[in-house]
Amino acid sequence: MATRVWDRFLTDEDKAHLAASQHHPIGFGEKPALLLIDIYRGVFGDREEPTLDAIKTWPGAMGPVGWTALRQVQRVLEVAREVGMPVIHATGNNDVPHWSDRRERMRKGPSDPAAEDRRRRRFDIMPEVAPLAGEVVIRKSSPSAFFGTALPMHLNYIDIDTVIVCGESTSGCVRASVVDGCANRYRMVVVEEGVWDRHQAPHAINLFDMNQKYADVLPLDEVTDWMRGWHARRTEAAHAGELVTAGR
């Protein structure tokens, strides 16, 4: 069995229990969408640099781990666009109080123009994954992309049954969105290399927990292979329908 990111955090008893129990994947449906959660400037800063340097100007920065994951998200997004899968971007909203603002106020020092500029730009979606025309952008002020937003209505409107998730943070907004998506009866799929966190233990254990209860946590290559297969099936079905219509 392939090694998973959470394996080194499990006890021998945990591993024995997993071996003795049966875990059944949720599986994909046939009407998927890609959801990108909080891939915004505030967690990257203006350039890639070590985390302890980045947080001096961008307190929410995650350093190299975020930039590495961003490149993986680009791969997933490229395939989603290639196969015509709906893409939805979720980010914060500067026009309403954000759930993290309480923490920011507690550690906020004297204001200056540069800091205010960074604050205004914190929820700007990174240009590497910037929305294209027709891709929906959801503004949220809570950890979950589902809570208090139009996301559930939009997914219902376009008849989605499977939500493929990338973004951050694994233990925060990704987990909250996955749990809410599960509660709304969507098949949730988390791209393992496409999510990240500030700390590795919460990242690994939250992936493990989501995989056990609320979602399928799958390697990027497995997800993109499925996406291309989904597209091929749709194309074949459409072609068969055209042949039937032409034969009438």
- Two tokens at 135? 């891709």
Strands of the sheet with 32-37, listed across from one edge:
136-140, 87-92, 32-37, 162-168, 187-196, 216-218
Question: What is the C-alpha to C-alpha distance for residues 207 and 111, in angstroms, rounded to an integer?
Answer: 37
3-class SS at 164? strand
Question: What is the C-alpha to C-alpha distance for residues 92 and 102, in angstroms, rounded to an integer?
Answer: 15
Question: What is the C-alpha to C-alpha distance for residues 217 and 241, in angstroms, rounded to an integer?
Answer: 34
For the chain, how many residues are written? 248
β-strands 216-218, 136-140 pairing: unpaired
Alpha helices in 185-219 (DSSP H): 200-213
- Two tokens at 108? 């906020």
- Two tokens at 94? 């500067």
For residue 109, give every residue at least 6 positions away whose Cβ sits within 8 Å of its Cβ, in sequence order, or none: none
Among the listed residues 76, 155, 163, 173, the single catalytic one is 173
Among left, alpha and beta (phi > 0; psi -120 to 50; other), residue 162 is beta
Establish whether 173 is a catalytic residue. Answer: yes
Active-site positions read 173
